[in-house]
Chains A and B, each alone.
Chain A
Amino acid sequence: MSRPIILEKLRRLHQAEEAPSLPSRVPDFPRYPDPVEQFKIELERVSGVFLDGRNPELVRQALERVLNDAKAGEIYWESEDLFARHGIPSQLRDPEAFRRGQLVSSSHPLRQVRLPLTLNSHQYSRQTLAELTVSASSAACGIAETGTILESTAPGVGRLLPVLAPIHVAFLRRQDLFMNAADFFSRVSLGDRASYQVLVTGPSRTADIEKTLVLGVHGPQKHYVILTN
């Protein structure tokens, strides 16, 4: 009913005119000699935590730190693909090995920790998802200019896991880091494969009460990014 009426009104309006042209190029966005350093600075500025994960030992330390901070015993992983993509060693994937202390000293408290490593959200009820503490996902890419990562859905990956848990860990590969937002938007193809993507910059926040900043509203309160090779 409304569609033809609206389109007809618009057609009549545009007939006589010449449209101002669309600018042919986007203005320059900043470039950085050390994009990783820029990413780290910006992430920390918005109260995110940057962790080096360029080898398996560092990844282990990073995860140890996350679990300590969270006082949690479990990390819920988005999918199996994450491990291969980020070079996460098989020992970390094997709960038995982890429990036997193969990665941590025998006196380390983490030895008591259970680490179910291949938890996919569809195996669990909404209730479980609502109650989990730490989630981990693989970022499709990142933007150095603002310390941003891109979370994306895919076959075997949904929208909920990265947003429900109060603590979220995102793995990002160095090679997937864009210099700035203009680069990102000119190169990304929205909607080709994923129904949903979200640019995430730090933990959730609000300033709705007296413009006072409060972290952790509906999305995660703690946001870690582990940069892998």
Chain B
Amino acid sequence: MIEIRPQIRSALADSQLQKNLRLTLSKTAAGRRQAIAEVANWEELRQHARQVKAHTISRLGEYLELLEKNVIAQGGNVVWAETGPDALDFIFQLALEKGIRKVVKSKSMLGEEIRLNEELERNGIEPIETDLGEYIVQLGHEHPSHIVFPALHKSKEQVSALFADKLGMPPTDDCEKITATARKVLRRHFLSARMGITGVNFGVAETGTIVVVENEGNARLSVSVPEIHVAIMGLEKVIPRAEDLGVFLKLLTRNATAQKISTYVNLINGKRRPGELDGPSEFYLVLLDNGRTRILADEFLRQTLYCIRCGACLDVCPVYQTIGGHAYHSTYQGPIGAILTPQLLSAEDAPEHPFASSLCGACQEICPVKIEIPHILLKLREKVQDQKSARAGRLPLERWGLQAWSWIMTSPGRYATTNRLARGFAKMFARKGRNPVPPLSYWTKSRELPVLAPKTFRELFEEEERKS
């Protein structure tokens, strides 16, 4: 079971993290608003994207088969993997067969999901993260804290210190110098690696195209220099046609980074063709399930899979803004993490995620494919509570409490009686400051209690009625 409260506590106490979060998240907020305001038919685009995803998800098998057919027709290979270990086994086998000792990687959340880097290392293969944010995180032996900006939690001083320590770079607070160091170091790796592993933003079924979106050029290099390109893709990333790419890219980039389009949109159709001067001589597309077919089974919850990983929900979430990404203690953070984690794993494994939200709805408002995140969180809360009851055999205390409460609330008489009793007790607890009795203790740690009015509204209303 993933416990997040300890992580949350330390995130709140980490003043450097708090400072970093405040600084970086405010930077793109205005840019994003501007980028969205510029698009007159933004709502139409969102609806279109959602509809494309809804259609695709309900015909997923057909489109995956079509994608496979087209990839194979271009001389590529398609490997289906039900679980993370299935995907990893394939990659290790391939690497073993080809004598691969080093792999350059461009950003892939799916890779994080299946712990690709750890497993590669365990098998004696060196993975080199080439996206700057991922590289920083890798050097620091950490996990990414944001879907789009993996090193969001670090200040530039912290990055400089890390580079000074691990790469011998002279300390500097000049981001350009830090980036130049990374470019130099990673260039050497690019030119000597024989396998590149990338993620996939969209897999276009009708053309067999793998789309990889980026700004740095590390994906471009990862699919151009090495002799083998392996692309790992979640089942839900397939889309039927190329003509919808304009819509998806517009939504994705404006939401993710407030840009009109990413610097590089790689449109990959397999290995090099005869006559082409360079490029990989082998291409493998790994299609990974890892629990997605289970999510598909629920008609309401399956919209979780519409996500195009723009990361905007993280940026606008007041909870994420307060605790950062690592506090979620899972591959995916923020609102999408809160709904995806308990579904990829199970409600039992991640029972706290659905509750770590005030249900404010800012995420749903910004989501390019209109995922109903707060409503999903409520459904997941139900699942957690139902599983708790089922597992415990007897009624958990919380459920018993709410059942008693609902029993009281379904009768005006019981409600009135409970009121009178509560008022009696309340006088005992009506003092300022902290109160040791839970749940009052949780409230009063930082807040004063509301003052219990001497008479209820209905008593006062009735008095007034009697007077007139």
Q: Enumerate chain A interface residues (CB-CB to B < 8 A).
A: 1-3, 5-7, 9-11, 13-14, 17, 19-23, 26-29, 42, 46, 120-122, 126, 130, 145-146, 148, 153-160, 163-164, 180-182, 184-186, 188-191, 193-212, 214, 216-220
B268 within 8 A of A: yes
B242, CB-defined interface residue at 8 Å: yes
Determine chain A's interface SS by DSSP, over half rule: loop
A20, chain B: closest CB distance, angstroms: 4
Could you list 6 further interchain pairs (A-B, Cβ under 8 angstroms) beyond the known A159-B223, A194-B276, A201-B263?
A: A20-B58, A22-B52, A23-B51, A190-B204, A196-B269, A214-B179
| B45 proximal to A (CB < 8 A) | yes
Q: B152 to chain A: which residues have CB within 8 Å?
A: 211
**B334 in contact (CB, < 8 A):** no
CB 8 Å contact bits of B67-106 with A (1 = contact, 0 = none)? 0001000100000111100100000000000000000000
Nearest chain B residue, comparing its CB with the CB of A20: B54
The stretch from B214-222, B341-349, B359-367, B376-384 touching chain A is B214-222
Contact at B178–A6, with CB atoms within 8 Å? Answer: no
Q: Which residue of A lies closest to B25 (CB)?
A: A211
Inter-chain contact A155/B265, CB cutoff 8 Å: no
**Residues of B contacting A146 in the complex (Cβ-Cβ under 8 angstroms):** 260-261
The answer to whether A212 touches B156 (Cβ under 8 A) is: yes
Q: B245 on the interface (CB 8 Å rule)? A: yes
Contact A190 B267, CB 8 Å, known A5-B82, A20-B54, A181-B261: yes
Q: Are B267 and A218 in contact (CB under 8 A)?
A: no
Given A204-B215, A205-B216, decide whether A180 and B204 contact each other with a Cβ distance below 8 A: no
List the interface of chain B (C-beta within 8 A of A).
20, 23-24, 27-28, 41, 44-45, 48, 51-52, 54-56, 58-61, 64-65, 70, 74, 80-83, 86, 130-133, 136, 149-152, 154-156, 159, 175-176, 178-180, 182-183, 186-187, 190-191, 204, 207-209, 215-218, 220-221, 223-225, 235, 240-247, 249-250, 257, 260-279, 287, 289, 293, 296-297
A-B contacts, 9 of them at CB < 8 A, read A5-B82, A23-B51, A27-B45, A155-B274, A158-B224, A186-B243, A195-B269, A201-B261, A212-B175
Contact at A121–B133, with CB atoms within 8 Å? no
B216 and A153 form a contact (CB under 8 A): no
Minimum CB–CB distance from B464 to chain A (whole Å) comes to 54
Q: A198-B266, A211-B27 are in contact. Are A28 and B41 (CB under 8 A)?
A: yes
Nearest A residue to B81, CB-CB = A2
Contact A217 B218 (CB under 8 A): yes
Report the bound CA distance from A202 to B86 in whole Å.
39
B159 touches A209 (CB 8 A): yes
Q: How far is the CB of B369 from chain A (nearest CB, A)?
A: 13
How distant is B160 from chain A, measured CB to nearest CB, in Å?
Answer: 9
Among candidates A6, A19, A153, A182, residue contacting B272 with C-beta atoms closer than 8 Å: A153
> Is there an interface contact between B277 and A181, defined as CB atoms closer than 8 Å?
no
B55's partner among A3, A20, A163, A197 (CB-CB below 8 A) is A20
